Amino acid sequence: PHRVSNTSASLFERGQAVIPGGVNSPVRAFGSVGGTPYFVERADGPFVYDVEGRRYIDYVQSYGPSILGHAHPDVIAAIRDAATRGTSYGAPTENEVRIAEEMTSRVEGLEMMRLVSSGTEAAMSAIRLARGATGRSKILKFAGNYHGHTDSLLVAGGSGIAQQGLKGSEGVTAGAIEDTIVAPYNVVPEIDESIAVVCVEPIAANMGLVPPAPGFLAGLREACDAAGAMLLFDEVITGFRLCRGGAAEWFGVQPDVWCFGKVIGGGLPMGAYGASREIMSNVAPLGGVYQAGTLSGNPLATAAGLAALEHLTVEAYAALAERAARLQEGMQASFDAAGVAAVLPRVGPLLGIFFTDTAPHDFDSAKAAADNGVYPRFFHGMLDRGIALAPGAYEAIFPSLAHGDEEIEATIAACAEVAATL
C-alpha cells in the first residue's frame, strides 16, 4: 500500500491540532531554538533518521537512556523475547528481583529499591518516603535542579521549566509548595529540624552541566546529619551513566535515599527509588508509606534494563569518559580558534556547553549563559550539518558507546565550521 509521504513540517502541523504544542514533552517543540522539530522515524547506534530520510549523529540519545546507542542488538533481542511472553501481568516476575539485585550490588548503601515507571514517579515517591520516615514535612531543593514534574518540586526547576522561562507552573497550588524551600546550588544552606529531606542533583544536568563545587556534597551530608534530615541524590541522569556506583561512588558521599531513571530502563519507561533496608521498610506493604503502580516492574522494561546494565562495565565507563573528553577538547579548540567564548564542563562521561567565558556554578550564572542567544544559532548550525544536539541550552550532551572515532571527528569538524560563523 502506498504510504503518504510525511514531512516533519506536515507531522508537526497535524500534531499541533491534537497535542498541545504538537509534542508530548515541551522542549521537543523547538520553542527556545526556533524552527520545526525533526520527527524521528528510526534510530540505530549513534544515529537518528528523520521521516524525510535525513541522518543525524545524535547526542540527545533520548536525554540519557540510550547509553549503548540506539537499538542495541542485545537490548532489542531482550525486548523481543520478553514481548513474546506478554507485556504486563500485574504480578511479580524474576527480572524485577534480578534488576534490584543488580542495582543494589553496584551502589554502596543502596540495599532495597522499588521500581516505578518514570523519573518523576521515583522522585515523588522518594520524597514521600523521606517525609514518612522522618515525620517532617519541609523539603529543600536547589534552584535549577529538576526532579520531574511533581507539584512540590517544580518550583525553580531546571530543564524544560527553565527553557520556558518559568519560575514554576500554573496549576500548582500555593499549598503544594509551601513546604518547599529553594536554595542556590553549590552553597550549603541552613538546614534545621523542620526539614525532612534535602533533594539534590549531585551533578546538575538540567541547567546545562554544572558540577558540584568541592565540598558541596560533603557539606550537605554533614548538615543533614546534624539536623537529622535525609539527603536525597536524584540520580535519574547520573545513575549508571557516571560510573558503576553512580555519584555516591564518584564523589565518595553517600545519600540516604536515591532515585533513578533513564539508563536503568534500557530505553523503556522505568524509574526506581531506594535506600537502606531500614528506611525502605517504611514503604507499603512493610510500612505506612503508600506507593503503587500497575505497570511498575514492567517485563519489557526490566528485560531491556538488565540487557543494558550487562554492558556497563568499568571498561565501558572509561570508554564513555574518553569519548566525552575527546569531544570536549576538540570542540573547545574549535571555539578557541574562532574566538568564540565557550566552556564545555565535563564530569566523566557527562558533558555540557555554555557560550560564556567562565563555567557557571549555579542557576543564575547558567541562565545568563543560556539567555545570551548564541545557543540557538549553534544548535541550528550543527543540525544543518547533520549533528543533533538537545533543542535547548539547559540540557547535557550525551555521547553513547556507539559513538566511534568517525562520529566524534565529524562532530568536531562541524563544530569548527559553525564556530567560524558565530
Asked if 234 is an active-site residue, the reply is: yes
Instruction: Give the position of cell 522539530.
Output: 37
Residues 361 and 186: beta-carbon distance below 8 Å: yes
Closest residue by Cα to residue 415 from 296, 356, 355, 327: 327
The runs of H, that is alpha helices, within 237-362 are 246-251, 277-280, 299-311, 314-338
Residues 410 and 362: beta-carbon distance below 8 Å: no
Which is catalytic among the residues 146, 185, 273, 375?
146
Instruction: Give the position of cell 543494589.
Output: 104
Residues 421 and 384: beta-carbon distance below 8 Å: no
Asked if 167 is an active-site residue, the reply is: no
**Environment class of residue 54 by beta-carbon count within 10 Å: exposed (0-12), middle (13-18) or buried (19+)?**
middle
**Environment class of residue 271 by beta-carbon count within 10 Å: exposed (0-12), middle (13-18) or buried (19+)?**
buried
Which is catalytic among the residues 38, 58, 141, 262?
262
Residues 325 and 298: beta-carbon distance below 8 Å: no
Q: What are phi and psi of 226, to 5 degrees?
A: -65, -35
Which is catalytic among the residues 50, 58, 234, 362?
234
Closest residue by Cα to residue 290 from 84, 104, 125, 169: 125
Report the catalytic residues.
146, 234, 262
